[in-house]
Chain A
Amino acid sequence: GAGVSQSPSNKVTEKGKDVELRCDPISGHTALYWYRQSLGQGLEFLIYFQGNSAPDKSGLPSDRFSAERTGGSVSTLTIQRTQQEDSAVYLCASSSNSGPSEQYFGPGTRLTVT
């Protein structure tokens, strides 16, 4: 079956513009995660979804960041009024919630803010 997919794979945007990043999890996976990988940093947790609700948004760096999930499937991460420090690779992962080792990661979206 298909793995986790993300689009676009690369996005270049001007400072101040809004961007939307999309994640298609593995079919049937109830849990979905967004992480951010900045240059020289590890992977930072951003947000966790269980179904369509987000019980843990603790990693979102500011109120410019938001995310939603619809139909228990596709998720969109939106960054408003992008800043240069938002440049990073945004990774999505999904799991069937059978345990932490079963997170399957997508290839990521590389965001560059100029």
Chain B
Amino acid sequence: GDSVTQMEGPVTLSEEAFLTINCTYTATGYPSLFWYVQYPGEGLQLLLKATKADDKGSNKGFEATYRKETTSFHLEKGSVQVSDSAVYFCALYSGGSNYKLTFGKGTLLTVNP
């Protein structure tokens, strides 16, 4: 079955540091890939997505590239801010009409000033 593995947290960085959160997946076919973010006290929000190999999703300074050869979708940001502190979830959708998402366990990011 489908699965998503992302790096365990928590991750603690200083402001302006470089961020990488690793995500790898197992799926049949050619899934769509997503990063969701959950800020404290809020619901999950879609951060970015990629729907085919070599696509790069980007939003709010975050980027992730769909790498089919390594089945990966690592999240990166060149310079994090305190406001980026949140839990980040990698997810995939592998097809079918119900649009069910399969999520990783989430990575807690804390950015200190």
| A interface list, Cβ under 8 A from B | 3-4, 31, 33, 35, 37, 40-45, 48, 50, 55-56, 91, 93, 95, 97, 99-101, 103-108
Point out the residue from B43, B46, B89, B102 that lies within 8 Å of A101, measured CB to CB.
B46
Q: How many residues of B contact A (CB 8 A)?
A: 23
Measured in the bound complex, the distance between the Cα atoms of B45 and A108 in whole Å is 13
Interface of B is mostly: strand
| Contact residues in B for A3 (Cβ distance below 8 Å) | 43
A41 engages B105 (CB within 8 Å): yes
Nearest B residue to A102, CB-CB: B46
A105 engages B44 (CB within 8 Å): yes
Distance in Å: Cβ of B79 to nearest Cβ of chain A: 26
| B interface list, Cβ under 8 A from A | 4, 32, 34, 36, 41-46, 49, 89, 91, 93, 98-106
- List 18 A-B residue pairs with CB atoms under 8 Å apart, sorted by A's residue number: A35-B103, A42-B4, A42-B106, A43-B89, A43-B101, A44-B103, A45-B100, A48-B99, A48-B100, A91-B44, A99-B99, A101-B46, A103-B46, A105-B43, A105-B45, A106-B43, A107-B41, A108-B43
Measured in the bound complex, the distance between the Cα atoms of B94 and A100 in whole Å is 10
| Contact residues in A for B91 (Cβ distance below 8 Å) | 43
A42 engages B103 (CB within 8 Å): yes
Distance in Å: Cβ of B11 to nearest Cβ of chain A: 16
Nearest A residue to B8, CB-CB: A40
